[in-house]
Amino acid sequence: MIMRTTSASSWSPEHAAARVRRPRVSARAVALALAAALLAGVGWAAFAPVRVDSREALFEIPRGTFARRMAGEPAPILPDEISLTLGLRDVLLLRNLDEVPQIFGPTLMMPGQSFRLPFRQAASYQFACTAHASGQMTVSVEAHPATPWMRLGWRARALWRRVWSKSAT
């Protein structure tokens, strides 16, 4: 058995760095990992069941809305269009916290009163609404996302609406 010894004079930082090689992560491995993560996320969005906390979508008409509108001030209290989904969030709940009655569709809501409207068919509905400057509001009701493609589209639209509404405010 032959043993080699090295003298202190043969050691250099370059030799030490050459011995301690770190494995390199290739761009291809990173791209594959990102593609796998993206595919896993899309798979989850398509195949996982859609769950919501409540079937009600609550919208409130705040106190002072009528007075602000009569003074000519902008009072954006309700969106021009409300989106609901059958089987998930398919009940519109309006609450009048203003001091004056408000009309929504054929219903007169007195101050402090709530109005609950369940939807059973996917469609776009137009309602008279005194809380809007235009005097009307649209409620769009989507079909239940039963298939993976429908769930994927539903989740994408929900994410888009959330991002878009935050950037608009």
Q: Model confidence over 73-103: pLDDT tens digits?
A: 877 777 888 889 888 888 999 999 999 999 9
pLDDT digits (tens, 9 = 90+) for 98-144: 999 999 988 999 999 999 999 999 999 999 988 877 888 999 998 88
**Structure token pair of residue 63:** 């106190």
**What span, in angstroms and rounded, lies between the C-alpha atoms of 16 and 39?**
42
Query: What is the tally of helices (H) and strands (E) in the chain?
Result: 4, 8
The highest-level CATH class for domain 56-168 is mainly beta
| Predicted local confidence at residue 123, as pLDDT | 95
For the chain, the structural domain boundaries read: 56-168
Tens of pLDDT, residues 16-52: 555 666 677 788 888 888 888 887 777 776 667 667 6
Rounded-to-integer distance, Cα 63 and Cα 6, Å = 86
Which residue, 94, 147, 141, is CA-closest to 121?
Answer: 141
